[in-house]
Structure 1
Amino acid sequence: MAFAVPALYALWIRPRLLTWGATRDESTSVYPGDELVAEADSSSTMATTLPAPPEAVWAWLVQMGGDRGGWYSWDRLDHYGEPSAERIVPQWQDLEEGQHLLTAPDGRSWFTVAVLEPNRTLVLRADLKLPSGRSYDIRTGSLPRAHMDGIWGFHLRPAPGDRTRLVVRTRGVSRPRPLTRPFDLLLGEPAHFVMQTRQFHNLRTRVGAQA
């Protein structure tokens, strides 16, 4: 019996957390930005259908950021308690590859816009030192002894009825693996599921109200 719960989680619950809402084709497809973490230790593909066309959904995604419109998830956990935007803000509609989107109030950690295809693909990259969680520039070529690097990709595809299929792909690699692997399993993956499903819910509410 002691082995039943871990086995149930590993064989049935965890695969569903990592592919929540996604079809088999969506889960196995290759998306722009996947190549940025070619040998990933962890990955997930989650998806939902939103009641608006891709260009309407894009307007909400492109204004994400801790110093912009927030992340549309649990704001107490990822936006310093400030509510995420509930309207389209014109000054946040400009986004460029290489731009930093802050994730911490002190400005020492951020996502970098890695891939930008308007109305279709937005891939954010995070390269973090551990255990501080501070960002570093991977282009310097020197990796910290302990680090976590990954992508958070948003892929929009038209769906019947003037709707959008939003597929969210994550890929990550972290070192030293004997220490980061338990963190991924026990905290990282469940936390991502909670935050991502909340974001799906809030995006659906926002784009639905706008439509």
Structure 2
Amino acid sequence: MAVQNRARRSWIGCGLTLVVIVICFSIANALIPNWGSTPAEQAQALPGDEIFAKPVLKWVNGITINASPEEVWPWIAQMGDTHGGYYSYRYIEKAVTAMAGVDTSRYYPNTNEIHPEWQSPTIGQGMIMDAFVLRDYKANEYMVAAPPPEMDEGGLLWTWYLAPTEDGRTRLLVHMSIQIPGMEGNKAVETGFNLATFMMERKMMVGIKQRAEGGMEADWVQYAEALLWFLTLGIGLIAARR
């Protein structure tokens, strides 16, 4: 009888954990595309909007930075896998790069310094190897990265847009689109990309804000955040077993 009761509690725990996960994922999936942005910002036309006609996923995320656009721009200008990096989870970026069989030593430094040699980006330069390149930019205002023009049928598009506020700060809007031919309207694909990509993009935006405001992230912070993610998962699994 004790064994049966324990098994029953385990199944109930698993079921409740699954329900909570589904609810949390559903809420997150609804909030992620417009995280941090206002309805007006979401409706705003941004550079690069014309590149993908039928994206399977489209985000407009926003964050306020306590610095002027001129102070934020150098951190945007030097972004790229072999330049300043993307200020996100470096160990994840390097792991993905390693899967492509590439030497990761020169990729994704996620620097805490402004490098003068990276402050003059050129149209067509690789942003993620050669599959994701700089398509357009205007200093102190925006930068657009997407596949090369001959590959516009699908891929990833990113626009970083800087808008000055009346009090001298900056609104950073990040428009991200993913287009996969034949996958338009596929909710499963949309949900998968939402959940898998948001953690990295949010970290990037917070990383830009932190650096532009004069902060510096210690190496241990990224590992601590990863540990919290795994602890959360572990707690859910333990609860399901009790």
Place the TM-score, normalised by the shorter chain, in its bin: 0.7 to 0.9
RMSD, aligned α-carbons: 2.8
Residues 85-126 of structure 1: CA deviation (Å, up to 9, x unaligned): 11110100011222222x3xxx4x442111211111101103
Distance apart, 1:194 and its partner CA: 0.4
Counterpart of 1:119 in structure 2 is: 140
DSSP 3-state at the match of 1:150: strand
Q: Which has the higher strand share?
A: 1
Q: Map residues 45-194 of structure 1 onto 2, 5 A cutoff.
A: 45-79=60-94, 80=104, 83-101=109-127, 103=128, 107=129, 109-126=130-147, 137-139=148-150, 148-177=154-183, 182-186=188-192, 188-194=193-199
Q: Give the whole-Å Cα distance in 1 for the aligned partners of 2:149 and 2:168.
A: 39
Q: Which has the higher helix share?
A: 2
Residue identity in the other structure for 2:136: V
CA contact (8 A) 1:37 1:150 kept: no
CA 1:92–1:176 in structure 2 vs 1: closer, same or farther (change >3 Å)? same
DSSP 3-state at the match of 1:61: helix
Query: TM-score normalised to the size of structure 2?
Result: 0.68
Counterpart of 2:53 in structure 1 is: 38
Q: Give the whole-Å Cα distance in 2 for the aligned partners of 1:99 and 1:83.
A: 17
Q: Map residues 190-201 of structure 1 onto 2, 5 A cutoff.
A: 190-201=195-206
Gaps of 5+ in 1: 127-136
Query: TM-score normalised to the size of structure 1?
Result: 0.77
Larger Rg: 2
Q: Give the whole-Å Cα distance in 1 for the aligned partners of 2:33 and 2:66.
A: 23
DSSP 3-state at the match of 2:213: helix
CA 1:151–1:52 in structure 2 vs 1: closer, same or farther (change >3 Å)? same
CA contact (8 A) 1:22 1:48 kept: yes
CA 1:162–1:32 in structure 2 vs 1: closer, same or farther (change >3 Å)? same
Residue identity in the other structure for 1:171: S
Runs of 4+ in 1 over 6 A off after TM superposition: 1-5
Distance apart, 1:201 and its partner CA: 1.6
Q: Percent identity?
A: 24
Q: Give the whole-Å Cα distance in 2 for the aligned partners of 1:6 and 1:77.
A: 25
CA 1:4–1:140 in structure 2 vs 1: closer, same or farther (change >3 Å)? closer
Distance apart, 1:139 and its partner CA: 1.9
